[in-house]
């Protein structure tokens, strides 16, 4: 049981470890169900687009990936900052666990965007504000991962990573608002919190279902990776304490 006194080094990580362990299977189930539903609506219910033909269906992975890339960065920066401000080890571990998945979604957004852009805009890439800042976001994720891995002292690494993550978070509003500030190639927002979406209902449904699927997926993977980090640090702590022979 987790009331074992050897785990005195961590306060809440063991509780998180147990809770996450119970939730992860449900999260994977949710991911699968939402993905199947989203893909079904997207490919078998949403009609063909008048201007873009069936190429537009890339939207069902492109937009969720882009949203996740921005959301995960803010969440990562948030937890990293909490970990720094309150010396909360678990928060710092969660931040580290988020980074690879966030980077993956950023790459997915860029990749799917390029494959969508080629048939519709005629070009794989353009250096407009949104694409450039999304690319910078990928560099920020990679930079964060490189920095925390390069510093051996975990506490210092977490703190330096938190500082970097917070500084980089100024990029996320730029990505989001860039299509409003600069009238360039990338299309403007189709979905807004205040006005009615300019999109067919089935397309919107599919996009939202896929977004929820990506969210559930992100939870599942980030929880798994956090458990890995907890187990790694527990192992390292035991080494230091000499309580368990290697």
Partner 1 sequence: MTWGSASEFFAMGGYGLYVWGSFGLIALCMAADALTAIKRHRDARAAHPEPGENS
Partner 2 sequence: MTAPVFSAVLVRDLRLAARRRVDALLPLAFFAVAVSLFPLGVGPEPNTLRQIAPGVLWVCALLAAMLSVTQLFATDQADGSLEQMMLAAGSGTASALPVAIAKAVAHWLLTGLPLVLIAPLFGVMFDLSGRSIGALCASLALGTPILSLLGSLGAALTLGVRNGGVLLILLIVPLCIPALIFGSGAVSAVESGTSARGHFSLLGALFIATALLAPLATAAALRIATE
DSSP 162: H
Q: 60-76 burial, b if ≥16 CB within 10 A, otherwise e?
A: bbbbbbbbbbbbbbebb
In the list partner 1, partner 2, none, the entry touching 221 (Cβ below 5 to 8 angstroms by class) is partner 1
Among 14, 38, 161, 168, binds partner 1 (CB under 8 A): 14
Is residue 81 within 8 A of residue 166, CB to CB? The reply is yes
Q: Report the residue count for the chain.
A: 246
Position 2 contacts partner 2 (CB under 8 A)? no
Whether the CA torsion 111, 115, 120, 122 is positive or negative: it is positive
Can you tell me the distance from the alpha carbon of 75 to that of 1, in angstroms, rounded to the nearest whole number?
Answer: 31
140, two tokens: 């920020």
Can you tell me the distance from the alpha carbon of 119 to that of 79, in angstroms, rounded to the nearest whole number?
Answer: 39
In the list partner 2, partner 1, none, the entry touching 196 (Cβ below 5 to 8 angstroms by class) is none
For residue 165, list its beta bridge partners: none
Q: Which is nearer to partner 2, 23 or 166 (CB)?
A: 166
3-state class (DSSP) for residue 49: strand
Count of C-beta atoms within a 10 Å radius of residue 227: 19
Among 112, 159, 178, 211, binds partner 2 (CB under 8 A): 159
Among 35, 115, 163, 237, binds partner 2 (CB under 8 A): 163
In the list partner 1, partner 2, none, the entry touching 147 (Cβ below 5 to 8 angstroms by class) is partner 2
In the list partner 2, partner 1, none, the entry touching 142 (Cβ below 5 to 8 angstroms by class) is partner 2
Q: Which is nearer to partner 2, 182 or 239 (CB)?
A: 182
Residues in the site for partner 2, rule: CB under 8 A? Answer: 132, 136, 139-140, 142-143, 146-147, 150-151, 156, 159-160, 163-164, 167-168
Residues in the site for partner 1, rule: CB under 8 A? Answer: 1-4, 6-7, 10, 13-14, 17, 43-48, 53-55, 57-58, 61-62, 65, 97, 100-101, 104, 107-108, 111-112, 115-116, 118-119, 217, 220-221, 224-225, 227-232, 234-235, 238, 244
């Amino acid at each position: 049981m987790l009331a074992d006194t050897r785990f005195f080094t961590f306060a809440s990580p063991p509780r998180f470890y147990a809770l996450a362990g119970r939730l992860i299977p449900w999260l994977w189930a949710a991911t699968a169900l939402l993905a199947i539903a989203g893909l079904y609506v997207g490919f078998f219910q949403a009609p063909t687009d008048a201007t873009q033909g069936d190429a537009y269906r890339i939207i069902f992975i492109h937009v969720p990936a882009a949203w996740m890339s921005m959301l995960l960065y803010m969440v990562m920066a948030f937890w990293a900052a909490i970990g720094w401000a309150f010396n909360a080890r678990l928060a710092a571990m969660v931040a580290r666990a988020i980074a690879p998945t966030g980077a993956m979604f950023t790459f997915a957004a860029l990749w799917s965007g390029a494959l969508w852009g080629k048939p519709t805009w005629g070009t794989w890439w353009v250096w407009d504000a949104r694409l450039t800042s999304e690319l910078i976001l990928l560099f920020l994720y990679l930079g964060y991962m490189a920095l925390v891995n390069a510093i051996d002292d975990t506490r210092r690494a977490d703190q330096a990573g938190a500082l970097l993550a917070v500084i980089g978070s100024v990029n996320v509003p730029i990505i989001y608002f860039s299509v409003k500030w600069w009238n360039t190639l990338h299309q403007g927002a189709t979905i807004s919190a205040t006005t009615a979406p300019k999109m067919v209902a089935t397309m919107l449904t599919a996009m939202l279902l896929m977004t929820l699927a990506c969210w559930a997926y992100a939870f599942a993977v980030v929880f798994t990776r956090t458990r890995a980090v907890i187990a790694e640090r527990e192992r390292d702590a035991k080494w230091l304490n000499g309580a368990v022979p290697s």
